[in-house]
Amino acid sequence: MPKLYLQRHLKSQWNVENRFAGWTDAPLSKQGLEMAQEVASKFSNEKIDVGFTSPLARNMQTVIEIHKYLEKYPFFSHIDGGKMQEQGNFDKVAENCTQFFVTEKLNERYYGELQGLNKAETKQKYGEEQVLLWRTSYTNAPPGGESGQDVYNRVTPFFKEFVEKELKAGKNVLIVSSHHPLRSIIKYIENISEENMVKVEIPFAGLVTYEFDENLNLKSDKHFTI
C-alpha cells in the first residue's frame, strides 16, 4: 500500500534569527545541518519511489543533506513548465537515485511586507494581536502576502494532479517542503476545518506519515502524527 511522507525542512538560518522567511532564500543553519542524520534515520527502512520539493534553498538543501545518509541520491527535475517529465539521463542513473520534482507550488507562504522582518520587532511595529492574527488566522493575509487559504488553493490542485497520481500507482511519495504547504496537504487529506487549522503544527524537521489503500483511503484512524 502506498505511503506519503511529509517532511518539514531542517531549521534555516532565518529560522534561528526568528525572521519571516516566506519566499526568501536562506541556507540551513548549523543546528539544521546537525539534524540531518537523525531525520535520515527515519527513512532507513522505508522505500521512497519519488519525491517532490520546492526550489527554495532550505527545502532543496534538506533533500540533499538527508540523502547524504541514505543509499540513494536525489535527482532534481523542474516541472513548473507543465508536465512531469524525467529530464537528462535519469533512466541511466535511476538505480542509484530518487527523482525529485521541483515546483514553486510547494513554496512557503508568501509573507509580503513581513518577509525578512524579525518576528519580535514585527510585533512591536504592528502590535502583538495583529501579528498573531496574520500568523494563525486561515483567511487573514499579511500586507501584500498570502493567507493560509491562499496557500491551500495553490497547493491542493498540484497535489491532486501530480502527487495523487503517483500514490494511485502504488508509489511511496516523499514531499519535502515548508510549514504552510504541508499544513495545507494535511488539511486536504484529513478534511480539517478552518477553525481547527490553528492546531496543526509541524516542528522543524518534523515528519508526518500517511498510509493509503488502493483507493487512497487512509488505512489508520490515527492520522496526523510527528
Q: What is the pLDDT of residue 92?
A: 55
What CATH number is given to the structural domain containing 199? 3.40.50.1240
Going by C-alpha positions, the residue among 74, 66, 106 that lies closest to residue 205 is 66
- The pLDDT of residue 223: 53
Residue 146 lies in a domain: yes
Domain count, the chain: 1
Q: Report which residue type is found at 178.
A: S
Q: How far apart are CA 159 and CA 181, in angstroms?
A: 10
Query: End-to-end distance of the chain based on CA atoms, in angstroms?
Result: 20
Supply the range of the domain harboring residue 79: 3-211
Please check whether residue 54 lies inside any domain of the structure.
Answer: yes
The phi-psi region of residue 18 (left if phi > 0; otherwise alpha if psi is between -120 and 50; otherwise beta) is left
The pLDDT value given to residue 93 = 58
Evaluate whether residue 21 is within a structural domain: yes
As given in the structure block, the three cell numbers for residue 27 are 541556507
Whether 176 is covered by a domain: the verdict is: yes
Compute CA distances 170 → 69, 176, 198, 217, whole Å: 25, 19, 32, 13
Residue 225 falls within a domain, yes or no?
A: no
Q: What is the Cα 65 distance to its own chain's centre? A: 15
Within a domain: residue 222?
no
121 in a domain, yes or no?
Answer: yes
Considering only CA atoms, give the Rg of the chain.
17
pLDDT at 89: 54
- Catalytic residue set: 9, 108
What is the pTM (predicted TM-score) of this model? 0.92
How high is the mean pLDDT in each 10-residue block of the chain (226 residues)? 96 95 94 96 92 97 96 88 55 77 97 93 92 87 95 97 96 97 96 91 95 88 52
